Amino acid sequence: MLIAAGVAMLLFVGYQVYLTDYFAHAAQTKAKQALVTRWKTGPDPLLPLPDGSLPRLPVGTGIANLYIPRLGRDYAWTIVQGTSAADLQKGPGHYPGTALPGQVGNFAVAGHRVGRGEPFLDLDRLRAGDAVIVETESQWYVYRVKGANRNISAEDGDGIPGREIVSPRADSVLLAVPDHPGVAPSEALMTMTTCHPKFTAARRMIVYAHLQRTLPRVTANMPARIAALYRAVLGRQ
């Protein structure tokens, strides 16, 4: 019985990690291809409407691409709208109701850490000052991981650290100014959330970044100033 239980546990872990990864990467590929097609055939889905209101984004559809030089040249994920289990099966998900890329406020994104594509598997490798790049149809946004004196856990000038570990019920990380209820935002922030530690959902790892630079997206090619961010971290290989 113990052997059977052990085998069952190994099969379950294999399903959670490998099989869910397979299906998640297939779903991510579809979301990425659909986003490319939308960018080629229509206006930027993230632009405000003529009356100034924000667009209604269909859940489960791609809205932007995410790149993190610290995690390698092949790290590229399409962010989808929504954070339900079905949405996160396709890739990192934008929390509805939080800011859009580049906006003043808190652009918040969730992602799985183990299995189901695990886009945030190595989020703990990020350091204070690391670039987090978001590509939309019309802009490239370069965020920088917060932290003070190269310490990612230290609070920046606005009282927000680069990384913290919180309870799964700590919804205050999604506020316009994370962990500061009632405070009006004055800067464009990005928040990334994932489970912690790996293989459990006991806690949440939160990584915060602030918008440093915006570049127009003229072509599908990555601008030289964005590519240089990779060389700064990975060298010229």
The predicted-structure confidence for 206-224, as pLDDT tens digits, reads as follows: 999 999 999 999 999 999 9
In a 10 Å sphere around its CB, with 0-12 CB exposed, 13-18 middle and 19+ buried, how is residue 1 labelled?
exposed
* Nearest to 143, CA basis, from 153, 151, 133: 133
Output the pLDDT for position 235. Answer: 77
Q: What's the pLDDT tens digit per position in 51-110? A: 877 778 999 999 999 999 999 999 999 999 999 999 999 999 999 999 999 999 999 999
Annotated catalytic sites, by residue? 112, 195, 204
20 vs 95, more confident: 95
The pLDDT mean for the chain works out to 90
For residue 197, whether the previous peptide bond is cis, meaning omega lies within 30 degrees of 0, is yes
User: Residue 132 in contact with residue 191, Cβ under 8 Å?
Assistant: no
pLDDT exceeds cutoff 90 at 3: no
Q: Is the pLDDT of residue 152 over 80?
A: yes
Summarised one tens digit per residue, pLDDT across range 173-197 is 999 999 999 999 999 999 999 999 9
Question: Residues 125-142: what's their mean pLDDT?
Answer: 97
Cβ burial, residue 143 (10 Å; 0-12/13-18/19+): buried
Q: How far apart are CA 8 and CA 103, in angstroms?
A: 47
Looking at the predicted structure, is the pLDDT value of residue 225 above 60?
A: yes
| Tokens matching residue 128 | 């204070």
Q: What is the pTM of this model?
A: 0.90
